[in-house]
Amino acid sequence: MKVSLKEVNKSFQKGKGETLEVLDDIDFNISEGEFVSLIGPSGCGKSTILKLVAGLDAPTSGEVLMNGRTVTGPGTDRVVVFQEGGLFPWMTVIENVTYGLLRKKMSKEEAHEKAMEGLRMVHLANFTGSYPHELSGGMKQRVAIARALVMDPDVLLMDEPFAALDEQTRLVLHKELQRIWQDTGKTILFITHNIREALTLSDRVLLMSTRPGAVKREFTVQAARPRDPADSNVVDLERRVMEELEEEMEKVLKEEFGDDYHLEKSRVRDSDHSDMGSHI
């Protein structure tokens, strides 16, 4: 398996002897070349899992494996794309994309060539001299994806990379990411609040429970690619996922508003975008 989490638990000390349990016995595998998304209520530990796989944090117990080896820290076999992209504002597009390559002691000529390959892949080869403030939100994320791809990681870790974008731009980038994934065969772990996004992009979707987060259900998406979010298979599966989520979402809302709160389930099921962040 490319990525394996075995009986992973994670907790944080809150002070005064209190412990916050974040993850509870997480156990799943990701095969090479597979696209897997994690969804679930806010605070369920999705991003914590991504950080554990990235080596940015360590589990309290259990084991995280990459290619059968225990993850003990960050490595060049994994690259993270964050929600804000993380571009250096004082660098041009080409400088941002070559930065990691040059730190690996690659020659300037080879780094430039690889960076141009990456930028052509995301259709930004004509913006090499632009600065981040001159780009749209969608263009910035495409630069971030190019910067990640040129490092040639085994696994691409994407933490809600399209969450801050408008719906039209998000749909465009969904198509772009599907194309890039099919062209490169990269293994992708994708974090999102948006159910339709997860179903449009993924081979499998893992649904997490409220904190402490556990994998509640696994959904396999069998719709043909490239996927249309309006595809009947996607829409039907979206409703099934929402039905599974209602109980978990209500738990979160009761914590916030009190035990008397009851989720308007029909409203959630009829949501056009199925973005859980808008309901909790």
Quote the DSSP letter at residue 279: T
User: Which of 192, 215, 210 minimizes the C-alpha distance to 247?
Assistant: 210
pLDDT at 208: 95
- Residues forming CATH 3.40.50.300 domain(s) in the chain: 32-59+68-77+155-278
Separation of alpha carbons 212 and 167, rounded Å: 31
Under 8 Å between Cβ of 200 and 234: yes
Of 248 and 12, more confident: 12
**pLDDT value, residue 64:** 98
Measured from the Cβ of residue 214, the count of other Cβ atoms closer than 10 Å reads 17
pLDDT higher than threshold 50 for residue 242 = yes
pLDDT for 183-231, tens place per residue?
Answer: 999 999 999 989 999 999 999 999 999 889 999 999 999 888 888 888 8
CATH number for the segment(s) 32-59+68-77+155-278: 3.40.50.300
Which residues have CB under 8 Å from 187's CB, separation 6+?
A: 2, 3, 30, 31, 32, 33, 34, 35, 154, 155, 156
| Cα–Cα distance for residue pair 189/152, rounded to 1 Å | 15
Q: Following CA atoms 58, 76, 220, 138 in sequence, which dihedral angle do they give, to the nearest 10 degrees? A: 110
122-132 as b/e: b if 16+ CB within 10 A: bebbebbeebb
